Chain A
Amino acid sequence: MRSVKKFDYYILLEKITPLIAVIFALLVGAIVIMLIGENPVFVYKTLFSNAIGNRDGWGNVLFRATPLIFTGLTVAFAFRCGLFNIGGEGQMYIGTFLAAWVGFTFTNLPAFILIPLCILTAAAGGALWAAVPGILKAKTGVHEVIVTIMMNWIAASLTFFLVLKFKAPPTEAMIAAGVKQMIPHTSEIAEAARLPRLYTILKFLNIDFPSYNQVNISFLIAIGAAILAYYILWKTNLGYEIRAVGYNPLAAEYGGISVAKNIVLAMVISGAFAGLVGTNEVMGFKYRWRQELFTGLGFNGIAVALLGKNHPLGVVLAAILFGILNYGGAIVNIFTEGRIPRELIMVLQAVIVIFVVISDEVVKRLIRQRRKLV
């Protein structure tokens, strides 16, 4: 007879390790806040009450969670194939730029063609950029971690070149003031390429929601992408093969599954998710490409995927948590007049990652010991 009850307790523990990690990280954050000389209770209260205490806060949280869902899926999907795609940043750059390019070039197309075209281009751009490390890994065995990082920097340079080539003409106000573009950016995309904000739908459903809130249809695309990732991974042959390669490439190869083909496909799909960030950043928010050095969205996707245990549902939840931390952190920054820099949130995210992996291992070990004892 096995002592089933005790065992279930540990399985439950394994499921909630991310929660434990988050609590530990918040404690670490509290210590840092105290060291700065601020009150952690006040800081956390400000953070959470502003982020999730009202509808406007929730809107801002979901707006910030949207790109993180995409980049989280990027990392999680590749990880299911045993690959570390930490090039989400670069894939996102290429996809987003291309979406903007389509948006401001084919301005006379109607919305029902232009919007899908922009979305597909964004995905294709990311997929293309991720295909390079995928092919190199499959053909020569070069580790994808280094190549994806190098591709990030190459993407940053390439988009910088392109943004100067497609720079928006100076506006009349700028000519009058005699100033140049501070941050290089392209022209705005066509009206027909823009995604409506979420409040238009909520208004239709008779839900009161502020019209200035930036959360847009891209959030629904992100949820759709998560469902698609789940469907591909667990309901199709391709997903089965990708996961088989991730579990054990040698066994998969022996079973007749092409490791090389699945590595490339997993990278391409993973990169497509990163490219879709463009739907939020360009089509739903800025309406143009602005050249900035690394937004950090791609890198935060790693933390989101780990916290979400590389499962699409987990990724969505983790992205929303990070959305809360990011938006709340920005509010705290304003409330404390900059005494608590918003980068505290970045530090917390890294601490969460370390605690997630450590607590995962500890719980695994506990379960193993348990099994031996029983």
Chain B
Amino acid sequence: MESTPWESELTLDLHRQFGSQIIEFASYREQNFLIARAGAVPAIIEYLKLQRGFDYLVDITAVHWPEREEPFDLIYILYSFSRNERIRIKTRIAEGDRPASVVSLYPGANWLEREVFDMFGIEFAGHPDLRRILLPEEWTGHPLRKDYPITQMDQQWVREHIGIESGQ
């Protein structure tokens, strides 16, 4: 991605607050994002919410890059009503890492984090109710991982619950 550096009063402030915890401030197609270390993300989100008016958590999602050492990107999209500004926070996490939940900051993160757990198998530490949300509770596997082929399904679940040999 050919991103350009993102510099503003906000990035200077964040750099002052979080120093080397934020790896990069960048901009692509006029959209600003920052890349931070996973441990600092909840603190950055809290600071942005309480001090800088980013009071709307638009979305949380993840991306799987299986060939990487830290195979997951976690993406938070934040918006500020007062500044009319949208930013993205990206971080990398390894298999088995348990990033901290942000439900205590934004109750709306509850279902979004459950969906990430359901689809990618990323567990959020401190989430009040981490269950699958779109797939059945007993399902095995996390479909949005790249090593989960599009035609794969939990054959045993299909046999037990739908009573047919295969869904394919």
Q: Do A and B bind each other?
A: no
Question: Residues of A at under 8 Å CB distance from B?
Answer: none
